[in-house]
């Protein structure tokens, strides 16, 4: 899905000489996916990007399973989470499978390191907070409602503004590309006219001056076994220019143009991204169905192949009772779910909804993590009783 972007100084042709004003040769780095067969960018550094001055500790990371007492619907009250750690150490994994890891972070302090997820794409949904994501590719200012898409292998620094409200992040880590659905694209890769957003809505990194600094620059890299620390001998963002299709980018949920219908439209009309083994949908304010006998609230449904997770962002969610901003509901396969008592009937005649929510539907069962058990609402499974 990403499109061609070019910033700063690059040589006229790939893999040829580029010199600075001081006559120093620039160092090319290719960052790409799928064994040189998928998206890539060519980046030009002042220093070779390979100068590791120290290999530090490897800290194992394991996810503790928990909350598997019963197969039932869940309401996870993430609004009860206290600020902890930074944007990385503060991630509390709530649910996971072999395709995707979902966590929520309420960071207490800034991170003082650069970070790269070696294997996984990251999708960071910014519920609250403003700041800057700096990467090899430049600066991306972020704010509430932003989906930040970070290809695995991207080196970045996540910094929230000093005057930012308490940041709150929903994070998905995926074993493969997170991108708009392929069915939204024409054969040239352009978003189609009837897709609910277009390239104009996508923000790409802004150029930033190259950081020509020597010293000791700490980097943490998430690898299979855990987090590996390194020290680089120079600032990693010593980039004079780059071009290509590989870079982090942002789409804001408020720029999603909902598709509505004469009768109730199913979640695929809200789809925003797809990843290996899951989809992400955005529920946004919209007008309801215009059939004279329409029932705007969804019917009860068994989405047989999927576990459905909803993160409630803002507004009054039309089909749910007892959820708040920051709630997560998890409706696993094997058990139908639908509007709570009164919501189905109550939706008749309603003209619009002002809800914002982010949905993760997986194609394979999710496991709950121990941190989910501690914020689990035990009454939720019975909330369909009158």
Asked if 238 and 214 count as a contact pair (C-beta separation under 8 A), the reply is: no
CB of 297 to Fe ion, least distance (A): 11
Taking the C-alpha atoms of residue 126 and residue 254, their distance in angstroms, rounded to an integer, is: 12
Residue 73 or 234: which CB sits closer to Fe ion?
Answer: 73
Look at residue 268 and give its three-state secondary structure: helix
For residues 102 and 125, is the Cβ–Cβ distance under 8 A?
no
User: What span, in angstroms and rounded, lies between the C-alpha atoms of 7 and 243?
Assistant: 6
Rank residues 177 and 308 by Cβ distance to Fe ion and give the closer one.
308
Q: Minimum Å distance from CB 170 to Fe ion?
A: 18
Distance from C-alpha of 344 to C-alpha of 11, rounded to nearest angstrom: 61
Least Å distance between CB 254 and Fe ion? 23
Q: Is the dihedral of CA 79, 81, 86, 87 positive or negative?
A: negative
Q: Is the Cβ of residue 164 or residue 303 nearer to Fe ion in the bound state?
A: 303
The CB-of-5 to Fe ion minimum distance in angstroms stands at 37
Nearer to Fe ion, 89 or 265 (CB): 265
CA–CA dist 122, 176 (Å, integer): 9
Q: Which C-beta is closer to Fe ion: that of 220 or that of 270?
A: 270
Cα separation, 381 vs 74, in Å, equals: 7
Q: How far is the CB of 277 from Fe ion (least distance, A)?
A: 18
DSSP single-letter state for residue 343: H
d(CA 372, CA 366): 12
CA 92 → CA 29, 226, 227, 329, 370, distances in Å?
Answer: 34, 15, 15, 16, 9
Per-residue DSSP letters for 77-112?
A: EGGGPPP-S-TTTTEEEEEE-SSEEEEEE--SS---
Residues of the shown chain interacting with Fe ion in the complex, contacts defined by CB under 5 A: 308
> With respect to Fe ion, which residue has the nearer C-beta, 249 or 317?
317
Give the C-alpha distances (Å, rounded to integers) separating 252 from 20, 127, 343.
Answer: 37, 11, 28
Minimum distance, C-beta of residue 292 to Fe ion, in the bound complex (Å): 25
**Beta carbon of residue 364, minimum distance to Fe ion (angstroms, whole number):** 17
By beta-carbon proximity to Fe ion, the closer residue of 308 and 355 is 308
Minimal distance, residue 331 CB to Fe ion, in Å: 6
**Shortest distance in whole angstroms from residue 354 CB to Fe ion:** 19
Nearer residue to Fe ion within complex by CB, 68 or 302: 302
Question: Distance between CA 141 and CA 205 in Å, rounded?
Answer: 8
Q: Which residue is nearest to Fe ion (CB)?
A: 308
In DSSP terms, 23 is beta-bridged to none
Q: Which is nearer to Fe ion, 71 or 109 (CB)?
A: 71
């Amino acid at each position: 899905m990403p499109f061609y972007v070019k910033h700063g100084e690059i040589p006229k042709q790939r893999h040829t000489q580029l010199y600075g004003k001081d006559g120093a040769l620039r160092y090319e780095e290719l960052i790409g996916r799928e064994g040189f067969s998928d998206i890539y960018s060519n980046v030009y550094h002042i220093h070779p990007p390979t100068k590791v001055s120290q290999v530090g500790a490897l800290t194992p990371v394991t996810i503790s399973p928990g909350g598997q007492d019963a197969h039932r619907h869940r309401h996870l009250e993430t609004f009860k989470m206290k600020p902890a750690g930074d944007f990385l150490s503060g991630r509390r994994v709530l649910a996971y499978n072999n395709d995707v890891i979902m966590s929520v972070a309420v960071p207490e302090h800034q991170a003082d390191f650069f970070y790269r997820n070696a294997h996984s794409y990251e999708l960071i949904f910014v519920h609250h907070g403003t700041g800057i994501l700096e990467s090899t590719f430049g600066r991306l200012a972020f704010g509430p409602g932003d989906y930040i898409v970070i290809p695995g292998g991207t080196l970045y620094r996540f910094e929230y503004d000093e005057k930012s409200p308490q940041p709150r992040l929903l994070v998905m880590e995926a074993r493969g590309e997170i991108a708009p659905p392929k069915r939204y694209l024409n054969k040239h890769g352009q978003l189609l006219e009837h897709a609910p957003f277009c390239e104009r809505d996508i923000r790409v990194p802004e150029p930033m001056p190259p950081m020509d600094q020597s010293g000791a620059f700490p980097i943490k890299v998430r690898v299979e076994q855990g987090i590996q620390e390194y020290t680089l001998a120079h600032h990693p963002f010593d980039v004079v220019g780059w071009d290509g299709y590989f870079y982090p980018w942002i789409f804001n949920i408020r720029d999603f143009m909902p598709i509505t219908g004469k009768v109730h439209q199913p979640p695929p009309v809200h789809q925003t991204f797809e990843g290996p083994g899951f989809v992400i949908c955005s529920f946004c304010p919209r007008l309801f169905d215009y059939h004279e006998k329409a029932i705007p609230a969804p019917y009860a449904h068994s989405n047989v192949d999927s576990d459905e997770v909803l993160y409630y962002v803002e507004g009054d969610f039309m089909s749910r009772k007892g959820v708040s901003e920051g709630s997560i509901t998890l409706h696993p396969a094997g058990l139908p779910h639908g509007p709570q008592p009164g919501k189905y009937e109550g939706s008749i005649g309603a003209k619009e909804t002002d809800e914002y929510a982010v949905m993760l539907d997986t194609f394979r069962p999710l496991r709950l993590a121990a941190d989910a058990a501690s914020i689990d609402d035990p009454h939720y499974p019975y909330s369909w009783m009158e």
